[in-house]
Amino acid sequence: MRSTRPVLVTFLAVIALAATACGSDSKSKASGSVTVFAASSLTEAFTEMGASFEKANPGAKVTFSFGGSGDLVTQIGQGAPADVFASADDSNMTKLVDAGNALGTPTVVAKNSMEIITEAGNPKGIATLADLAKPDLIVVLCATTAPCGKLAASVLKTAGVTVAPKSLEDKVKGVVTKVTTGEADAGIVFVTDVKSAGSKATGVEIPATQNRVTNYPLVVTKQATNTTGAAAFIAYAASPDGQTILAKYGFLAP
């Protein structure tokens, strides 16, 4: 009897998933499927968060769709099946809320700041933001449509540095890929991106006077099919357990 229980739970979870996927779920429970649309800078931290949330809530299944925050707002506006939206900045969250696609007010669960990312070991010896202006360096930034691009532009402006980037990536992971594969010498990304790149990249801190801090607000979407599950996920992210995971990946407490 005991040994059949995990099988049964899996079975029920699959049914719940199928039911929500078909949109025929009449009354949502704390369990079931929760679909989270999250900014790509949350990829590693939220993947672990999802596994840990599922462990804490047997019967719940979290599915992620990671992408640029602006992209996700567009997708949700077009009716994408998101229960939770996790933005990498306030302005994209405001866009979603203003469009009437959010339920309730957003909860900030984490903060992040910017850092210079260089190839492993920092072979070009980059020490400050001003070094990024050197003409022989290949610097890659995010496009200003992405939060990382807006923040990088603001950081550079504060520091009074003009950079000629070789590429304006659509999302932060594009910058990370270009630097970790050695195609670019440096870029400006979130502190957490440098951390999750592990040994493939080295970070150069940006002084607090020049740096910018960004919020990560989470909200239940208007079209959520599992509002209870969505609220539970947001609460979990804000709980001590969730905060421990976020801190592990370099996020700052809200």
By CB under 8 A, is residue 146 in contact with another protein? Answer: yes
Q: How far is the CB of 104 from another protein (least distance, A)?
A: 25
- Return d(Cα 43, Cα 196) in angstroms, integer: 9
**Stretch touching another protein by CB under 8 A, among 182-190, 193-201, 204-212, 216-224:** 182-190
Q: How far is the CB of 139 from another protein (least distance, A)?
A: 10
By CB under 8 A, is residue 124 in contact with another protein? Answer: no
Q: How far is the CB of 151 from another protein (least distance, A)?
A: 15
Report the residue from 63, 177, 223, 239 that binds another protein according to the rule CB under 8 A: 177
C-beta of 47 vs 167, nearer to another protein: 167
By CB under 8 A, is residue 187 in contact with another protein? Answer: no
Report the residue from 167, 210, 223, 239 that binds another protein according to the rule CB under 8 A: 167
Contact (CB, 8 A) for 60 and 232? yes
**Residue in the structure block whose two tokens are 């999802």:** 50
Burial 142-173 (b: 16+ CB within 10 A, else e): bbeebbbbbbbbbbbeebeeebebebbbbbbb
C-beta of 20 vs 185, nearer to another protein: 185
Report the residue from 32, 172, 178, 186 that binds another protein according to the rule CB under 8 A: 178
If we measure between CA atoms, which residue out of 124, 121, 113 comes closest to residue 200?
A: 121
By CB under 8 A, is residue 229 in contact with another protein? Answer: no
Beta strand 102-119 pairing with 201-205: antiparallel
- Return d(Cα 143, Cα 26) in angstroms, integer: 41
33: left (phi over 0), alpha (psi -120 to 50) or beta: beta
Q: DSSP character for 200?
A: G
Report the residue from 65, 128, 145, 243 that binds another protein according to the rule CB under 8 A: 145
* Helix, strand or coil, per DSSP, at residue 120: coil
Residues 33-92 that bind another protein (CB under 8 A): 68, 70-71, 74
Site residues (CB under 8 A) for another protein? 68, 70-71, 74, 138, 140, 143-146, 165-170, 174, 177-178, 181-184
